[in-house]
Structures are given as C-alpha cells and as structure tokens.
Amino acid sequence: MTTKSPKPLFNRVVVKLSGEALMGPDTHGLHAPTVQRMAGDLKAAAELGVQVAVVVGGGNFFRGLQGADKGIERARADSIGMLATVMNALAMEGALEKIGQPARVLSAVAMPSLCQPYSRQAALAHLVKRRVIILAGGTGNPFFTTDTGAALRAAELSCDAVMKATHVDGIYSADPKKDPAATRFERLSHDEAIARKLQVMDTAAFALARDNGIPIVVFSVDEPGAIPSALLGKGRATYVMP
C-alpha cells in the first residue's frame, strides 16, 4: 500500500531571502556553502509542485539605510542597495542551474546585458514553466524595502503566500536574542502584527499583504530543508493570516 505524498499548503509563493542569510557565518559577501544549501532548498520546494518566486535582499553587500547613515543621500543609497540585490540574484541563479533547477533572474532595475527586465507577464510565463524566478532590484524605487517588494510581487503574481525566511523560528514579542522573556506567536492577523509594531517585516509590507489577503509565513532558514518543510506545514513558524 502506497502512502500519499504530503500536499503543500500553497501552490505559488514568494520566498523572501535576506542578503544577510546568504552570507552564512561570514561578516559580509556570499558564503558559497550557504548559497548552495538554499539553492537545494528552493529546488526541493519546486519539486513539491510549488511555483517559486524568490525576492532577495542586498544587506550582505550594502543596505540603503546604512549608506544614508554614512552621508549618502537616501535615494542614492537605496539605488546602490538595489544593485546589491542583483549580485545576490545572479549568484542564486547560478547555484540553482548548477544543481539542475531551471531559474531566471528578473530585475526591476533594467540590466538587459545581465538579466531579464522584470515584467509581470514574463514572470508568470517562467513560473508556469516551473522555473524558479529570482526577483532583483526590490520594487525598482527608493524608500521601499525588499520586504515590501516581496509583498508587492506576491500580490502582482497572484501568489498564495509570502514565505519570510529569517534566523528565528517565527515572530516574537521582542528580539529573542536580546530578551529571554520574549514570547513566540503561533498565529497573528496582519492588523495585530501592525498594531504590535512587530519588526520582522516593515509596516508597508504587512499592510500590502493585508489589503490583498496574502498570508505571511515566518520561519527559520538556518537548517537544511527549511523551505520545503515550511511549505508542508512542518516545523516551527508563525502564520500571519488575513
């Protein structure tokens, strides 16, 4: 007697990966074993039959807010941060293709000699062909985080959820690394997350997801297999639901 394979919770998702997640134990840049591990996770997610879009941050190279603190005007600093996300996206595309998973980078900042410019039609066409798409350049505009970019792309591409990959296993009342008394939430509404000023994503991202009825799943990406496990409803995570 054969047992049924577990069914994923969602059919099409945006996975939000921070730039910091890609630097592994290093202090900056890309940690090759970590990039390869995450590529393997994304391939495993695609093999579940899930259509996977990935939004990458750039904080392992440059963050707009940090640049603004150093005297670079915010709009220019954010533009530099967008370029950092393209570097991460190209690295992830290469890691995916190396293990046999078709992938495409689409950038909100047009760089046709490096990757395909982002358009909704192109992104959907790649997803239907079971390619993992890596969405670089944030929203293409300054003053918006890549978290907001993830919520925007999820709404635009009719995704079932945003999978927010972090270094903690969900959303806590405070930073659990700084406050041992911090309590973990199993489930929240978008309004609760906004009202409590929980910092795992910015308010604009929460509001955009809320207004479009998109769940957000917050989970730790530090262990191998974390992304497919979260898609199957296994392991620890916080679910922010409409």
Number of domains in the chain: 1
69 — pLDDT class (breaks 50, 70, 90):
confident
In a domain, 115, yes or no: yes
**Across the chain, what does the average pLDDT equal?**
93
pTM: 0.94
- Residue-level pLDDT at 200: 85
**Residue 123 domain boundaries:** 12-241
In a domain, 193, yes or no: yes
Instruction: Give the DSSP per-residue string, 137-178.
Output: STTSSTT--HHHHHHHHHHHTT-SEEEEEESSSSEESS-TTT
Any idea which of 74-78, 98-102, 199-203 has the lowest mean pLDDT? 199-203
Exposed e or buried b for every residue in 62-92, given b needs 16+ CB within 10 A?
Answer: bbbeebeeeebeeeebbbbbbbbbbbbbbbb
Give a yes or no: residue 233 inside a domain: yes
pLDDT 10s digits, 170-181: 999 988 888 888
Q: Does 95 reside within a domain? A: yes
Q: Does 7 reside within a domain?
A: no
Q: Is residue 28 part of a domain?
A: yes
* Per-residue pLDDT, 177: 82
Q: For residue 203, which amino acid is it? A: T
Above 60 in pLDDT, residue 32?
yes
59 in a structural domain: yes
CATH code of residue 220: 3.40.1160.10
* pLDDT of the residue at 1: 47
Task: Compute the average pLDDT of residues 12-36.
Answer: 95
What phi and psi values does residue 123 have, to the nearest 5 degrees? -60, -45
